[in-house]
Structure 1
């Protein structure tokens, strides 16, 4: 008698999947014959993506229009999938936002949204889906952090701190899950050509004009390949790898000053 767990279609849930890295990850998983559960607050784009994937790739796509800055969204997502009988094999916590400016002057409401999306909802979704993965004896989690996770970030203080949480949290539970069949990978991209800079209102900062930003396609492919290889941390690009590792050997106050310089407005 066949094992249903082995023969059923695998399902991936991806947050923030209407644009950027999230969309590219959805496309990669779709090409590898995963059924998709796509989460985003952009209903129009989600529907276009779902129709495109269904028509061109012939896969199953379920969309859930949710705003992860609302605290009960993770519970709603989990409950709706439970009712639909959809088991999640891969969880991709990609949704995230940034804020830019001197902390004493930035918008508190936006920063609380950032903390809810980047930290609380990510943790909540991981908690909800992890237990089923452990009981199934298999599963993968991809948490999208940033090279920002490796150092303090003046002018983006809350964003950098949120990504440091994602990295620390993910590394810790990756260790806890050894031997369970469930793996956790943290993707830490550097500056990427996407809508992030505009949404964070940092288009005129020096860091937004670095040469040869990586594409979302490249970052997503590295994230997918690293997830499938069970890597704990994936840092796309040699330059980003050097940046992330080298800060351990420099005095923290010097690192902080360098990051501040990189994020200041162009003159």
Structure 2
């Protein structure tokens, strides 16, 4: 898919673009004059691409399982076929799982969190960032979480995966300090997306507490990315303590 060539528009890549923060990020990129490659594991990404392209942008959808090496390579192949250097990469795809690590879930479920949250981020960075460095310009955004700032009992693997992304983002940023490529970590708190349902965490205190607007989180993430900031704590946590409900812990 795609619209007629619009070579004056810089290309960006957004993963996890079929819903939530990723969908909103894709919209913000288009609003600010980017063409896109958007990726997600479900067919909704094709509808998203059609909707985003209605304003004249070129938007190429990739339906791929980013928990697999093949899925990541499928995305890289489409990016390479796009025919223009990637100006921005937003690594947003990820999943979670809640519950007692020992008693409530099996090993495969936890590994399924590690593969897209960590494996895809490393894979895509390794494949798509070097051309940015060679060109001497580019912007990279990793969607981490405020959950990265401390232990995450009952969502331990998810929280640890987000801590990895925060650390990886900062480390890569330092390595690329003089390259012309900036790396930014987006760290939202609880956000009104489908995350908690998919993670089986709908009945947790954090899921029933106040949530931020994904459009606002995406806007703040985009602004931080374009400003070359090292990280941004997006949403209500940016301006002060989040209101709590029944002792809700402000982590995502």
- After TM superposition, the score normalised by the length of structure 1 is 0.85
What secondary structure is seen at the aligned counterpart in 2 of 1:193? coil
Residue correspondence of structure 1 range 91-110 to structure 2 within 5 A:
91-105=89-103, 106-110=105-109
Q: Deviations over 1:19-75 (max 9, x none)?
A: 0000000000011110010000111x21211211222x1110101110111222222
Residue correspondence of structure 1 range 183-194 to structure 2 within 5 A:
183-194=182-193
Alpha-carbon distance between aligned partners in 2 of 1:221 and 1:80, rounded to the nearest angstrom: 26
Aligned partners of 1:147 and 1:240 also within 8 Å:
no
Alpha-carbon distance between aligned partners in 2 of 1:218 and 1:84, rounded to the nearest angstrom: 29
Alpha-carbon distance between aligned partners in 1 of 2:219 and 2:59, rounded to the nearest angstrom: 20
Q: Deviations over 1:206-233 (max 9, x none)?
A: 111113x111011000000000111101
1:124 deviation in Å? 0.7
Alpha-carbon distance between aligned partners in 1 of 2:81 and 2:238, rounded to the nearest angstrom: 42
Aligned partners of 2:213 and 2:235 also within 8 Å:
no
Alpha-carbon distance between aligned partners in 1 of 2:193 and 2:65, rounded to the nearest angstrom: 20
Verify: 1:219 aligned to 2:228, yes or no. Answer: no
Tell me the equivalent position of 2:155. Answer: 156
Tell me the equivalent position of 2:170. Answer: 171
For residues 138 and 263 of structure 1, do their structure 2 counterparts lie closer, same or farther at Cα, with a shift above 3 Å needed? same
Alpha-carbon distance between aligned partners in 1 of 2:110 and 2:247, rounded to the nearest angstrom: 21
In structure 2, the gaps of 5 or more residues are 1-6
Aligned partners of 1:36 and 1:61 also within 8 Å:
yes
Alpha-carbon distance between aligned partners in 2 of 1:199 and 1:101, rounded to the nearest angstrom: 13
Aligned length: 239
Q: Deviations over 1:181-239 (max 9, x none)?
A: 1000000000001100100111111111113x111011000000000111101001453
Tell me the equivalent position of 1:4. Answer: none
Q: Hey, which of these two has a bigger chunk of helix by percent?
A: 1
Q: Deviations over 1:152-177 (max 9, x none)?
A: 10000000000000000100110111
For residues 148 and 241 of structure 1, do their structure 2 counterparts lie closer, same or farther at Cα, with a shift above 3 Å needed? farther
Alpha-carbon distance between aligned partners in 2 of 1:124 and 1:42, rounded to the nearest angstrom: 20
Aligned partners of 1:235 and 1:241 also within 8 Å:
no
For residues 133 and 92 of structure 1, do their structure 2 counterparts lie closer, same or farther at Cα, with a shift above 3 Å needed? same
Alpha-carbon distance between aligned partners in 2 of 1:243 and 1:54, rounded to the nearest angstrom: 38
What secondary structure is seen at the aligned counterpart in 1 of 2:188? coil
Tell me the equivalent position of 1:50. Answer: 49
1:262 deviation in Å? 6.0
Aligned partners of 1:92 and 1:143 also within 8 Å:
yes
- After TM superposition, the score normalised by the length of structure 2 is 0.89
Tell me the equivalent position of 1:249. Answer: none
Aligned partners of 2:37 and 2:79 also within 8 Å:
no
Q: Which runs of 4 or more aligned residues in structure 1 lie more than 3 Å from their structure 2 counterparts after TM superposition?
A: 237-244, 261-264
Kindly report the root-mean-square deviation, in angstroms, between the aligned alpha carbons of the 2 structures. 2.0
What secondary structure is seen at the aligned counterpart in 1 of 2:86? coil
Alpha-carbon distance between aligned partners in 1 of 2:59 and 2:128, rounded to the nearest angstrom: 19
Alpha-carbon distance between aligned partners in 2 of 1:107 and 1:243, rounded to the nearest angstrom: 35
Larger CA Rg, structure 1 vs 2: 1
